[in-house]
Amino acid sequence: MNLNELSLTEVLEGIKKRKFSPKEVFAACQKRVKDIDDKIKAFITIAPEIKNAIPFAIKDNFCTKDVLTTASSNVLRNYIPVYNATVYQRLLNAGFGLLGKTNMDSFAHGSSTETSDFFVTHNPWNLDHLPGGSSGGSAAAVMADETIFAIGSETAGSIRQPSAWCGVVGLKPTYGRVSRYGVIAMGSSLDCPGPITKTVADAEIVYRIIAGKDPLDATTVDIPLTPAEIINFKNIKIGVAKEYLAAAEEPVRKKILEAIEVFRELGCKIIDISLFDPKYAISVYTILQRSEVSSNLARYDGIRYGFDRSNFNKENKRRIMLGTYTLSAGYYDAYYLKAQKIRTVICQDFDKAFEKVDAIIGPVSPSLAKKIGASMEDPMFGEKEDILVEPSTIAGLPAISLPAGFITGLPVGLQIIANKWQENLILKLAEAFEAETKYYKIKPKI
Amino acid sequence: MTKQLSEEQVKHIAKLANLQLSKEEIKEFQKQLAETLDSIAHLNQIDTEKIPPTSQVSGNRNVFREDIIRPSQSQEETLANAKRKHKGYFVTEAIF
């Protein structure tokens, strides 16, 4: 087995036992990138040197001092940050080394990585298919064994959905758990960085490094990261929402029903629940996100850095336009305020659900990875794609995506959602499912 | 009822957003914005009169920090990405 194919857990163990050096692991990943990235196209920038550190990839919307940071937009195609995002800094402090910056939807405006201003990333399972997005480059790089792990960011689904479509593990922590400092902002009340990894254990390692209060981001919270306790599965109640199953296409639903049986066999109690119809969450999310986008993207004037506003692509402009409208005089109450009120309803709905169950499981995406070109026809492609991840992001809840099997050679993602600050429970449940199913051992031929 | 946006409204929004749109883009957005507004109109089915808005979900309230001076970026670093600069300042278009 080549070193680039190892999980982070295996790499850490191998280094501890002096089987190989971090430098050898870095070199193996760099070689893999050189060998196959012209097919996958996950990376925008690749570190030129070999470092004596375990390599990771990070989405190109994280500021990396002295390293090009574009957010896959022509507006920032020459932007070299003079400071580091907190998440990146914490990984450097922990001794990891930057392998490269990964492709994404331009300014994270999409769920396909197809709206990147530079190029499309390909799904390692089938190069004619999309990797999902917006953290598509990070998810594809992990699945293709180009890196040991990667960092993504999520506003709604941008970690979970590409992880599902590429067949890797993606953890979206609770909003406020991980600092947004130095992450190019999209929807400030929703944005959350998180790990994309080969296994659940890896996700936990990276999560514990990047999470925690940051004085540079006032929305981060001071809730301690307690070590995960051993849980008795017989005491765990898992909710299955009929609305979420109904939204999924038949083959995806079938795999999720199989996953439910795995938890039942582990001893968990499975309870049918009903959640607020996710179709409303799409609309709430559309308003909140477009409004916050129009506000956040107002800063790009081409004066202090980057290029002027004529460099926004059509999807950027479409979002800025709608958000400007929903925030404008006379429409604010009807749209933004209305959406914020229904946000309260969605939060309360989850509060009620978590009185009855400990976690909720369901599909991540209603479909398998779609073909390249699919996102270009529908201005609401992303929202429809992300119908099953938007309600939880609106409520700020943590969730994970992990592989739950394959259909026609493409992976299906299982989603586990829990109440705020319950990342430990999610990780324990995911770990147990992974130990039973071992889908992470199946790799694509590229 | 189907939502309609006039060409003038689209031009006004573009001006507010500081975007230069082509004639084709104005036409396209006129149609697409109306479609999107239509697709979210079902939110009006939900009675929100007595519901307070949620602007953030972290649970934090009144986050303060000590008002102390700490190192920041140098003038050189701050100007490093500017296209035009003059004697340590950014150069902008005249705005008045």
Residues B23-82: tens digit of each pLDDT: 999 999 999 999 999 999 999 999 999 999 999 999 898 999 889 998 889 999 999 999
Q: Indicate the range of A218-222, A229-233, A307-311 predicted with least confidence.
A: A229-233
Q: Is the CB of residue B63 less than 8 Å away from at least one CB of chain A?
A: yes
All structural domains of chain B with their residue ranges? 1-41
Residue of A nearest to B84 (CA): A303
Chain B residues with CB under 8 Å of A306 CB are 81
A82, A301, A420 member nearest B73 (Cβ)? A82
Q: How confident is the model over A36-93, as pLDDT tens digits? A: 999 999 999 999 999 999 999 999 999 999 999 999 999 999 999 999 999 999 999 9
A301, A318, A342 member nearest B46 (Cβ)? A342
A322-A327-A329-A334 Cα dihedral, nearest 10 degrees: 90
Secondary structure E strands in chain B: 85-86, 89-90
Distance CA A227, CA B87 (A): 53
pLDDT of residue A429: 98
Chain A residues with CB under 8 Å of B48 CB are 338, 341-342, 345
Select from B37, B76, B93 the residue whose CB has the most chain A CBs within 10 Å, as the one to mutate to test that interface. B37
Within-domain flag for A99: yes
Residue A258 maps to which CATH number? Answer: 3.90.1300.10
Query: What sections of A128-249 are H helices per DSSP?
Result: 136-143, 160-166, 200-210, 242-247
Within-domain flag for A446: no
CA-based nearest residue to A369, from A106, A147, A122, A42: A122
Assess contact for A196 and A207: CB atoms under 8 A: no
Amino acid identity, position A111: S
Assess contact for A140 and A122: CB atoms under 8 A: yes
Question: Which residues of A are identified as catalytic?
Answer: 59, 134, 158
**Which residue range(s) make up the domain with A27?**
3-441
Chain A residues with CB under 8 Å of B33 CB are 318, 321-322, 325
In this predicted structure, the answer to whether residue B84 has a pLDDT above a threshold of 70 is yes
In this predicted structure, the answer to whether residue B1 has a pLDDT above a threshold of 60 is no
Burial class (CB in 10 A: 0-12, 13-18, 19+), A247: buried
Residue of A nearest to B16 (CA): A324
Within-domain flag for A205: yes
Q: What confidence tier does A380 reach under pLDDT thresholds 50, 70, 90?
A: low
SS3 (DSSP) at A407: strand
Secondary structure E strands in A205-317: 237-241, 269-273
Within-domain flag for A68: yes
Q: Is the CB of residue B30 less than 8 Å away from at least one CB of chain A?
A: no
pLDDT of residue A382: 73
A175, A220, A286 member nearest B40 (Cβ)? A286
Within-domain flag for A80: yes
Q: Please answer yes or no on whether A176 and B58 come within 8 Å at the CB atom.
A: yes
Domain spanning B1-41: which CATH class is it, in words?
mainly alpha
Q: What confidence tier does A270 reach under pLDDT thresholds 50, 70, 90?
A: very high
This complex has an ipTM of 0.95
Cβ atoms within 10 Å, residue A275: 21
